[in-house]
Structure 1
Amino acid sequence: MSLLPLLAMLLSLRIAISDLYARRVPNAWLAVAASAALAWLLGSRIAGADDALLPHVGGAVLGLAALLPFYVVGWMGAGDVKYFAVLGLLLGWQALLPLWLLSSLLAGAHVLGLVLTRQLAAALPLRLQLLRERAVQHWQRRPVARDIRGARQGRVGIPYAAYLAFATVALVLWHLHGEAS
């Protein structure tokens, strides 16, 4: 396995944890991964290795351009867009479509689950609705729930970066398995 897919997997694990817990994609992690990728690509180019610079830089530009409109209209956070661009840099432009498709399917399943849960909750008998409400209130008083709310600082939404991270790990492992076969 090359350094760049390994770096993409390690970054993805950190991003998934951060996005699920705090709904944040830290710029520092993205900057370190992008800097390491550029250093690797430039070093490989100077050494005459096979890692082509253009597909990776093109992936970064394409990744940024593909998701930027979703940020502009307010459907996506800036961290998600920057993370997708870094994934394009790490994995090349060819990986972006499968990553986008898989992560969008995961996000869509998340939304569908939320909608169905709300509809089911409204259809429950009153006694079960009250029991559900008490369980939610009990959960909200737990220290871990307070810690999560504090870490999120009011940020809400689908953890799209986490779904991108899951898709990245799956794609890298799938390619690794394909190479081993």
Structure 2
Amino acid sequence: MLLLPVLALLLSAQVAISDLYARRVSNRWLACVGAVALGWLLWTWGSGAAAFPGTHLAGLGVGLAALLPFYLLGWMGAGDVKYFAVLGLLLGAPALLPIWVISSLMAGAHALCVILAPGLRASLPLRAQWLHARAQQHWQARPTARHIQALRQGRVGIPYAAYLAFTTLGFIAWSTYGAGP
């Protein structure tokens, strides 16, 4: 396996955990992985071991340009945009479309569940509503729940970067092991 897909796997695992747990994407991880990837691409091109990394550089630009409008509208965090751009650098521009489509479908399903949950909860029998309220109280009283809330610092929303990460892990596994004879 080449270095760039391994970097994408490692970064995606870190991003998924961080986004689910604290709703954050680490700029430090993105910068480090992006710098290593850019250095690797330029070194392999300069040494003649690989062709010009145009598809990877285009992936960086396309990844940034594709999600930047959503950030500017306030629909997405900056970390999601930067992560998608680094994915474009790591995997190349052709990988971005399937990753984006599948991630967006998963995030859309999540959003639909969030929108429908209050109405469905209200239609439950009273005993089930009471059990749900008790479970929520027990969860909120746990130190883990308080720790997660403190880490999130009030950030709410759908963990889109985590969906990008899950899709990236699947994409790399499929392209490495599933697409071939």
Normalised TM-score (structure 1): 0.95
Deviations 1:79-111 (A, max 9, x none): 000000000000000011011011111111211
Q: 4+ residue runs of structure 1 moved beyond 6 angstroms?
A: none
1:149 aligned residue:
149
Aligned to 1:106: 106
Q: Quote how far apart the aligned CAs of 1:50 are.
A: 2.5
> 1:22-41 to 2 correspondence within 5 Å?
22-41=22-41
- Is 1:96 paired with 2:103? no
**Alignment gaps of 5+ in structure 2:** none
Please identify, of 29-38 and 45-54, the stretch whose mean Cα deviation from structure 2 is larger. 45-54
State which drifts further: 170-179 or 1-10: 170-179
Query: 1:52 Cα shift?
Result: 3.5
One-letter code of the match for 1:6?
V
Backbone CA RMSD of aligned residues:
1.3
1:51 Cα shift?
A: 4.9
1:112 Cα deviation (Å)? 2.1
Aligned amino acid, residue 8 of structure 1: A
Say whether the 8 Å CA contact 1:57–1:92 is kept in structure 2.
yes
Matching residue of 2:65: 65
> Higher mean Cα deviation, 129-138 or 40-49?
129-138
Tell me which residue corresponds to 2:121.
Answer: 121
Asked if 1:175 corresponds to 2:175, the answer is yes
Could you tell me which runs of 5 or more consecutive residues in structure 1 were left unpaired when the two chains were aligned: none
Structure 2 residue matching 1:96: 3-state secondary structure: helix
CA displacement 1:130-179 (0-9 Å, x = unmatched)? 33112111110011111110110100000000000001010011110146
- C-alpha separation between the residues in 1 aligned to 2:6 and 2:143? 35
What CA distance in whole angstroms lies between the structure 1 residues aligned with 2:179 and 2:135? 48
Partner of 2:81: 81
8 A Cα contact 1:41 1:51, kept in partner: no
TM-score (norm 2): 0.95
Distance 1:128 1:89 in 2: 48
Q: In structure 2, how many angstroms separate the alpha carbons of the residues matched to 1:172 and 1:127? A: 45
Deviation at 1:180, TM superposition (A): 6.1
The structure-2 alpha-carbon separation of the partners of 1:65 and 1:173, relative to structure 1 and needing over 3 Å to count, comes to same
The verdict on how the C-alpha distance between 1:55 and 1:67 changes in structure 2, with shifts beyond 3 A counting, is same
| Equivalent in the alignment of 2:140 | 140
